[in-house]
Amino acid sequence: MSNKGSPSLFRKWVMRQYWRMQQSQAVVGLLLWGTTITLLVWPYVRWRFEGSCADALCFNDTIVGIPATYFGLLSIFLTVMFGVLTIGYLYDQVFSLWTEWRSVDMERNPYVTYAMTPNWMMMTALQAEMLSRQSEGDEAMQAQAEWFLKWCKQYAEGEMFARAVQRWDSDMGETPTFWFTDDEAMQRARDLKFDDEA
């Protein structure tokens, strides 16, 4: 979202493409690392798998009828994969770096810090409404309940709520106008167009 509250279409498009690439990043990255390191190391050890090798640590030109080159390449690749697994184990079990990563990830996530997803909005609005009804005469509680409902109304203007309303409309028929918003906001949610297919 820009400072004016409207989404930046270019930034969102770029982030969507980045997200699509990330989906296969773990597997593709692991295979690329393994292949790259294997091919970088191979020229330094290839001579040990050739028939002309005359040192103490040599392998036959073929093993069970299969060229020894394949076994050499496979052993380097598996060594790299084992190294990656070892680093992953240290990252997880020894240093527990994922806990700090998760902490930073949560700090930077607007839907954990100040923004609202539609599901959370509905639960918050229901709780605020119940609080408002049960705390009649308590001005401080009434003010807080009113603040929560205002928060919900603010985020009912966002794209995520519009997506939810459109999906609810298609799945269950027309979504009612909720007590924390108004008919105009619901219509704006229905009219909002998304560029997901771009």
So where are the chain's domains? 9-108, 112-191
Q: What is the pLDDT of residue 1?
A: 42
CA–CA separation, 15 vs 41, rounded Å?
36
Write down the pLDDT at residue 7: 60
* Tens digits of residue pLDDT in 134-185: 999 999 999 999 999 999 999 999 999 999 999 999 999 999 999 999 999 9
The confidence score (pLDDT) of residue 2 equals 42
Query: What average pLDDT does the chain have?
Result: 89
pLDDT, tens only, 43-92: 998 888 877 888 778 887 777 888 888 988 999 999 999 999 999 899 89
